[in-house]
Amino acid sequence: MKKSNWLLSAMLSLLTFSMMAQPERATLELSPEYRGGAFQSAPLDVPLAEAVHFLAFSVTWSGSPGLVSARFAAADGIWGDWQALPMEGHAEQSPEKRVSVLHFAPADTRKVQVAGTAGMDNLTLHFFNPGESSLPDAAQKETLVEERSPVFCPCPQPAYEGRDDWCPSGTCPEDPTPATTSVTHLIVHHAAGTNTASDWAAVVRAIWDFHTGVNGWDDVGYNWLIDPNGVIYEGRGDNRLGAHFCGTNGSTMGVCMLGDYTNITPTVQAKAALAQLLAWKSCDIGADPLGTSFHGSSGLSLMHISGHRDGCSTACPGDAFYPELPEIRDAVVAYIASSCAAIAPPANLTAAPMSDTTVVLNWEDASDNETAFLIERATSFFGDYVQIGEAPADAVSYTDDTVEPQSGYYYQVRATDGQDTSLYTNKAFAFVNIVSTADLLHGQRVEVFPNPVAGVLQVRWESPFQGPLHVRLMDTASRLIRSGEVRGGALELSWEMGTLPPGLYLLELTQNGQRAVFRVVKE
């Protein structure tokens, strides 16, 4: 068949970018001539420069349902095998618009030829070059540490690649008027596309282009996508109404496993990332990963973690992968139990001034899964607590050396694993007092040792005093702990300190109207 037999009009809708490595889109529109109830086009030039990584290709038409096939050739003119492109199961199919699946052709494709069945009119061939990515080696979007009270299962949101990461050119805008939804059910899909790629972010861009430029949707249909390396990509994002579940998308979160799992199953890394993502969302909405409940949008009773085919007639998420969903649910439960256990809060926080500019905090470590302790301070009990530092995992003390003399401070501490936090400890108060540094009494040198002290405190002076020596031990709030009297003629005093709590104490000596105060640190 000669090319002149075609009524061919090329309508290029190339995106204009400053670099060829950025995404490009183009279309060819054609009207087939049928022979024997079928058609086959002449070879057509691809209306794009050579693609990067792959050439994404799909077909739309009006008229009857049908099957499109396509084959592709590089510049050397050698044709590949014919590839069947059945109708896309996620798209809304109508006589006005039929949509094929998305196909990934070799990057060096320069010509395409299509064939189809009777009743297909006004074909549009869609071409998309995804361009280059500039992704870092690992997912970068990490959930910030937040204060919350763990209730059902505080699984943190796993790291993911945001839209700016997988579409660095900024040419994949999100829906400008998104609708929100209260998620109750988590729906697992497969892309039914390529299982190999050198740049999976480029595959995500191709799916975005297919959903927006071909299907006519406002954004990529899924909330999240996961590649075979276990990298999670943000689609519509959290609690956004998607376009993925048989036209009954309300109260669902759609997760697409990149690849075709008709005959093979996803990689271990991809399934692990899926379990983490589903564990986070199960915790977020308080859903039992093994449970079932009524889904209002579809009118069906669905498991909280379901496959696309549970909602309508489709092979998604693939004949090989769908039977593994019970294992995925079990993996979600296991991940929650092993990796998302609530962090026990530290207990029995105390605060004691150790000098004019130092307060020492002590607590009991009640958790075994923290990575650090977050130290917070305020100047009033109900004031605004500000984090002033961190202590490492398994720590039971912290020294605050940023206090001011003659000031009071309130403290609270919580444990963190880097993404989630425990509840707070009790609040502890310390008042930093200014005390005398005098070491003379009536001209005599007085020695107080050992200091710091763990057991017996010794006090000595050079010669006997005339009259009794009055002794008081106080805490830094000037509360009396112990008192005594030494008769004249003595040269020393011994006091047992071993039963006292650690902290700073004030030892006051008074004799015949003169007074000296010494700092004593109890270890």
- The class (CATH top level) of 347-432 is mainly beta
Write out the two tokens for 3: 């090319």
Q: Report strand pairing: 224-226 vs 252-257.
A: parallel
The residue type found at 241 is L
CATH ID of 163-339, from 3.40.605.10, 1.10.420.10, 1.20.200.10, 3.40.80.10: 3.40.80.10
Average pLDDT over residues 424-452: 72
Question: What is each CA distance from 178 to 229, 298, 506, 511, in whole angstroms?
Answer: 29, 21, 65, 80
The single-letter code of the amino acid at 414 is: R
pLDDT tens by residue, 455-490: 999 888 777 778 888 899 988 777 899 999 988 777
Prediction pTM value: 0.63
DSSP assignment of 236-304: S-TTB--S-STT--TTEEEEEESS--SSS---HHHHHHHHHHHHHHHHHHT--TT-EEEETTTTEEEES
* CB hemisphere CA count around 236 (13 angstroms): 28
Q: Domain map of the chain by residue range? A: 3-129, 163-339, 347-432, 440-522
351 vs 504: which has the higher pLDDT: 351
CATH of 440-522 among 2.60.40.3080, 3.30.56.10, 3.40.50.970, 3.40.50.300: 2.60.40.3080
Residue 383 three-state SS:
coil
Specify the CATH class of 3-129 in words: mainly beta
Question: Do the domains 3-129 and 163-339 sit in the same CATH topology, yes or no?
Answer: no
User: What are the phi and psi torsion angles at 457 (to 5°)?
Assistant: -95, 130
Model confidence at 153, in pLDDT bands (50, 70, 90)?
A: low
**Reported confidence tier of residue 135, pLDDT bands at 50, 70, 90:** low
Q: What is the pLDDT of residues 341-399, one digit of tens each?
A: 678 889 999 998 877 788 899 999 988 888 999 999 998 888 899 999 999 999 999 99
How much is the mean pLDDT over the chain? 86
* Cβ-Cβ contacts under 8 Å for 93 (sequence gap 6 or more): 65, 87, 99
For 381-410, give one letter per residue: b (16+ CB within 10 A) or e: eeeebeeebebeeebeebebeebeeeeebb
